[in-house]
Amino acid sequence: MRVLLVDDEVEYVATLAERLSFRGVEARWASNAKEALAYINQEPFDVAVLDVKMPKMGGIELKRRIEEIAPGMRFIYLTGHGSEDDYKKGITDGISYLIKPVDIDQLMKVINQAAAGRIG
Amino acid sequence: MSIIERYKPAFLDSSAQGPKGSRHTLNYKKIWQMVIFLTAAVTLVPLITITMLDYNVTQKSIESEISLRTRRTVSNTKRTIVSFFSARRSALDFIVHDNDISVLSNTNRLEEILNDLEISFGGFVDLGVINDKGVQIAYSGAYNLGGKDYSDQAWFNRVVDMGVYKSEVFLGFRNKPHLVIAVKCEFGESGFYVLRATLDTDQFNDIFATLELNGEGDAFLINHEGVIQTPSRYQGDVFSTVSILVPPYSDYTQVQEYRQEDKEQFIVGYAYIPDTNFILMIVKQKAALMKSWYATRSNLIGFLLLSITLILGVIVLGTTYLVNQMFFSDRKRAMVMHRIEYDNKLSTVGRLAAGVAHEINNPLAIINEKAGLIKDLFVYREKYSGDDKLMGLVESVLSSVTRCGTITKRLLNFARHMDESFQTVDIKTVIKEALGFLVKEAEYRSIEIVVTVPEEFPEVECDRGKLQQVLLNIVNNAFSAIGSEGRLTIEVQTKNEQFWILTLADTGCGIPEKDIEMIFEPFYTSKLDQGGTGLGLSITYQLIEEAGGFIKVESEVGRGTSFIITMPFKPKKRKEANTCESF
């Protein structure tokens, strides 16, 4: 399982990636859209976990961009905001939406589900 | 409530004035009084003034007319009387000039003349010729007066002096009233005789009988001593004394008012008949004359009083209604302003809280992952897995993070739902979320919270944010009421197909009966010294109403308070929040 994590909080996303790797996931992390897209262009991924609110380009816009390059990608949204609009947007896209701080096991479950194609 | 209490308008209530820094901009009682006073003054003063003027003018006019009419009647009657005497005197004058003394001394001739007089005038009873010595030298008539000596009689001297004499009425032949006219005729040098005639008073009295008088008028003659000479309707018999004071002498007709002690008022018109001892009196009863005026006057006064009553009634009712409307309008304005203020504050605080929560979430997430990583390292690497103490510490950190996460999630949740409107919710969840904010405080105050929601309770479509505000508000109040050591029971049940009931009952200090009606009133508070604005329950009431529900309260001092909120399962399509159909 190859997962790309994108979040502007470096400490957070790096640690998360490390924790996922303990659980058998090959995780890459990026702290902005540019880095993320660079990874997408270079390597294949099964699931992309995107923070919704990021400076310059947020998760929703990034999803679109990624889909242009890698159409079969599955997505999961992360947010610390809990704002109504983001939530609704996420829901209508049919994508899972998790609120930080996430439970690692919950995250694993959702990643597996996404990869299996049941959601995303 | 007494009738006055029930109808007393709200703005007069002193408690409506509010505490210092009153939210009302105007002193309604004063305005009410001023408006009523000014309007009443400006309408009533002219009305009353004009009515009084009209009254005076009309009364004077009527009195003047009465006086004039009486005066005219008296004058006309006086003229008639004077004519009466004048005609008969002229007749006698004619006789003496037409007939020589020697002719007249003949009794037969006298008798002829008497007959002629009787035929032409009527009313002549006798005729007598008296010489200059006062002796009746010839007589024709009913009596037997030939040779009678009148020399020492006053009338004889009078006719000698004045040339003519008209007597008063006296009781004569057959005890009927008569009067006498005598004329003097001079002949030669200082020779004279007197022709004397007695008349009965029938024709004389007819003058009065044929008068048409209003006001129960009584026309008659009296002499200068007040003895009645001709028949009177009300004043007494002929020869009795009139009860009215004899009026003072005047050349002209006079009209006076006369009042008998404790009895009626009279209008007395009189005229002294010249060359006689008669005074013509026409006496009318003022009451009878003024009867139509009195009726008019009653109508006028009645109309005035009715008008005043109506005017005052309309002014007072109208002003009261208007000032009341002003009062309510002002109050509503204040309420709306405060509601806006409240909503703004809530919104600001909500946004603030959400901002804080969001900011905290980031470092919180980092702590979570770092601690998680430490735990992972313990789990996945042999090196640390044996150290229980370290593991324990890490677990502790993780669980604290979870707790923080719950708090921020709750806050963010609440903030998120503030701006929403209607959505389908699970009541139990909503209640739990709201209580989530207060669980710590409840523990601290030793207040037990019991929530009862039926198992299969259906989902409700409502404004989640509003419902939570309502819950928070009431629960906060309950906590205040309880203080510490108590219980709060929250119960949900179905009322019928359309409505469900939420009951919040506390074991607090209760609300006194006199305050119960007022607690939903805006600005009513028992927490003034703590800075209470009295708006919490008023806004709660509004929120419930806007959601299509209804709230009522039951309370007993010392035992506790229950708020019973009835809410619809589905909101109605509503335009104006003020419609709330009760059940």
Higher pLDDT, B393 or B308: B308
Q: Residue B191: CA atoms inside 13 Å, Cβ hemisphere, count?
A: 5
Higher pLDDT, B421 or B72: B72
pLDDT in tens, A71-90: 888 899 888 765 555 566 65
Range of the domain at A84: 2-115
Residue-level pLDDT at B506: 92
Decide if B370 and A22 are in contact by the 8 Å CB cutoff. Answer: no
Length of chain B: 583
Nearest CA in chain A to B401: A101
Decide if A19 and B419 are in contact by the 8 Å CB cutoff. Answer: no
Give the count of domains, chain A: 1
| A42 within some domain | yes
Q: What is the interface pTM, i.e. ipTM, of the complex? A: 0.85
Q: Does B25 score more than 70 pLDDT?
A: no
pLDDT in tens, B462-475: 888 888 889 988 99
DSSP A15-46: HHHHHHHHTT-EEEEESSHHHHHHHHHHS--S
Residues of B in contact with A100 (CB under 8 A): 361-362, 364-365, 368
Mean pLDDT of chain A: 85
Decide if A11 and B366 are in contact by the 8 Å CB cutoff. Answer: yes
Residue-level pLDDT at B13: 61
| A100 within some domain | yes
pLDDT in tens, B141-197: 877 777 778 888 888 888 888 888 888 888 876 778 888 999 988 877 778 888 999
Residues of B in contact with A97 (CB under 8 A): none
Residue-level pLDDT at B578: 45
pLDDT in tens, B267-316: 889 999 988 889 999 988 888 888 888 888 888 889 999 999 999 999 99
Nearest CA in chain A to B379: A22
Mean pLDDT of chain B: 83
Q: Which of B361, B370, B419 sits opposite A100 (nearest CB)?
A: B361
| A77 within some domain | yes
Interval B44-69 mean pLDDT: 90
pLDDT in tens, B472-525: 889 988 888 888 889 999 999 998 888 999 999 999 888 888 888 778 877 666
Geometric angle at alpha carbon B72, from B66 and B75, rounded to 5°: 140
Q: Does B214 score more than 70 pLDDT?
A: yes
pLDDT in tens, A109-119: 999 888 887 54
Of B400-414, B425-439, B558-572, give the lowest mean pLDDT range: B400-414
- With cut-offs at 50, 70 and 90, classify the pLDDT of residue B577: very low
In Å, how far is B427's CA from the nearest CA of chain A?
20
Q: Report the relative pairing of strands B254-259 and B218-223 from DSSP bridges.
A: unpaired
**In chain B, which residues touch A (CB < 8 A)?**
354, 357-358, 361-362, 364-370, 372-373, 376, 379-380, 401, 405, 409, 412-413, 415-417, 419-420
Nearest CA in chain A to B353: A81
Tokens representing residue B369 in the block: 């992952």
Residue-level pLDDT at B491: 93
| A23 within some domain | yes
Decide if B354 and A82 are in contact by the 8 Å CB cutoff. Answer: yes
Instruction: Establish if A15 touches chain B: CB-CB under 8 angstroms.
Output: yes
Query: Domain with A66 in it: what CATH number?
Result: 3.40.50.2300
Decide if B361 and A18 are in contact by the 8 Å CB cutoff. Answer: no
- With cut-offs at 50, 70 and 90, classify the pLDDT of residue B527: low
CB atoms within 10 A of CB A9: 20
Instruction: Establish if A87 touches chain B: CB-CB under 8 angstroms.
Output: yes
Closest CA to A75 of A84, A88, A62, A87: A62
Residue-level pLDDT at A90: 58
Instruction: Establish if A85 touches chain B: CB-CB under 8 angstroms.
Output: no
Nearest CA in chain B to A8: B362
Q: What is the DSSP letter of B25?
A: -
Decide if A81 and B362 are in contact by the 8 Å CB cutoff. Answer: no
DSSP chain A: -EEEEE-S-HHHHHHHHHHHHHTT-EEEEESSHHHHHHHHHHS--SEEEEES--SSS-HHHHHHHHHHH-TT-EEEEEESS--HHHHHHHHHHT-EEEESSPPHHHHHHHHHHHHHTS--
Q: Which of B366, B376, B409 sits opposite A22 (nearest CB)?
A: B376
| A120 within some domain | no
| A14 within some domain | yes
Residue-level pLDDT at B582: 34
Interface A:B, Cβ pairs < 8 A: 65
**What is d(CA B568, CA B578) in angstroms, rounded to the nearest whole number?**
15
pLDDT in tens, B7-21: 676 666 654 544 444
Geometric angle at alpha carbon B481, from B478 and B486, rounded to 5°: 75
